[in-house]
Structure 1
């Protein structure tokens, strides 16, 4: 009898522990959701152009490492744009920045548009379902056709601030990245784990490997200025993919 009571007590403690763990996990998820909602309501998907000096105000004056590296950035850049830190910032930043540059380069726009037009068939031939990717590809092509009409910068910026349009662009860039990683699996297998699950889902952070893959998939150059807390007053040498 005593043994049965002890077993019941132990079982009850285990169940209570499981409930507590579940409640803790739910609380963490709820907190993360609140943080994401605050970010979404307070930070634009793509900001207006800002003077680079805004970075200096974001770090303490006594943080000499970053302050010196920001001064080093000033030697090359005068302005920046910020993107919402939602895990999609690389793809959104690249998408807007490259299309902005295409507004002043009609020859590159036509080359890039041809690559983008063919890219859907390449993905389908790899096994991606056409019905699944078609809407994302169409939105991507619609935005390139908008660039052909030489719109004002505000119109392009408005498209990237439209959550539905902007997210569709991000999704398609993720698909292109995933497709290239799969096509070149023999090369990338030693540098990345997780396969498609680490690339295609929204809000998954990007790494240098993803940048290389997207750059090669679209045959473009992507320059990344990298700042860390390493010693010295200079930023790390740019990474060119």
Structure 2
């Protein structure tokens, strides 16, 4: 279904109905399997595909079926401990899925635009630090748009905020579209498999073209609240972040802890879904797409005002985000 038609159907269904089932491509095969695990099982794009038989429902594999695919132990038999560990891992994943579903029921992927005053209700009246910092935010901003706290909030907040702004800026839209169109070629030249990233790039371009048609804001919001569309966009923004970090690895390697290479950091902390973002991710995505981002930091630090940082430094921001420990939302002046 074309993205425009899909968005129209979403509007008639109601965009605030959460979709907690991961998008599953219609066709079978190794690359479709990769897409499933990328968007729902936190697999990095650069990790090789395990050769598995085609099947309709990835979750239909039992622990026993997976155990049959394990290599034999040193004594020529399969280790019982391995099966037990696998069952334990599946139980943990099931618990995580239940938690994510509870979050999904309570929080749309991207909310409506809200009065900034809603933040007061999230903190106790006697929480002096946060109450004062919300007052300080009120001096600079009037509204907020919340995102689901699922580990992908930075990318989702960035994507919606910038595309929303492009609805009223045709010059910036043309520049951004040209960069986005070329970005897939840049990633392929770095070694990413074209077929693997193509669907994610297509979704990115479809959303940009939706903005180019000057659709109502409700259409854009509907697209971002469709789990499949929204997650595919997040995957591609993660890819762009990873690609830039690896292209500029000589610079970024000085900021990575734990003795990891930049590539290892990207595989572990950037490409997998639900991994939270920090300064290094924001710097890379801002540079990759040539978009200026301002982040207001609201925490329990001393002082009654929020601190902000602009990425890259000295630029004129057009995306404004609020960071509270572990989470990003969108701000409006």
Match of 1:160 in 2: 224
Q: Please give the alpha-carbon distance, in whole angstroms, between the structure 1 residues aligned to 2:303 and 2:202.
A: 46
Measured after TM superposition, the shift of residue 240 of structure 1 is 3.1
Match of 2:134 in 1: 70
Match of 1:151 in 2: 215
Q: 1:100 to 1:33 in 2, by over 3 A?
A: same
Q: Which residue of the other structure, out of 247, 252, 262, is the alignment partner of 1:183?
A: 247
Measured after TM superposition, the shift of residue 32 of structure 1 is 2.9
Instruction: Please say if residues 294 and 308 of structure 2, whose CA atoms lie closer than 8 Å, have aligned partners that are also in contact.
Output: no
Q: Report the secondary structure of 1:99's partner residue.
A: helix
Q: Please give the alpha-carbon distance, in whole angstroms, between the structure 1 residues aligned to 2:89 and 2:247.
A: 38
What are the Cα deviations for residues 114-169 of structure 1, in whole angstroms up to 9, with x where unaligned? Answer: 00000000000000000000011111111111111100000000000011000111
Larger proportion of helix? 1
Query: Which ranges of structure 2 fall in alignment gaps of 5 or more residues?
Result: 1-79, 313-333
Q: Which residue of the other structure, out of 205, 218, 221, is the alignment partner of 2:292?
A: 221
Q: Report the secondary structure of 1:110's partner residue.
A: helix
Q: Please give the alpha-carbon distance, in whole angstroms, between the structure 2 residues aligned to 1:23 and 1:130.
A: 35
Q: Are 1:127 and 2:191 an aligned pair?
A: yes
Measured after TM superposition, the shift of residue 95 of structure 1 is 0.2
Q: Which has the higher contact order (CA 8 A, sep 6+)?
A: 2
Q: Report the secondary structure of 1:44's partner residue.
A: coil
Q: Are 1:196 and 2:266 an aligned pair?
A: yes
Match of 1:4 in 2: none
Query: Which ranges of structure 1 fall in alignment gaps of 5 or more residues?
Result: 1-14
What are the Cα deviations for residues 167-190 of structure 1, in whole angstroms up to 9, with x where unaligned? Answer: 111000000000000000000011
The alignment's TM-score, normalised by the length of structure 1, stands at: 0.88
The alignment's TM-score, normalised by the length of structure 2, stands at: 0.64
Match of 1:208 in 2: 279
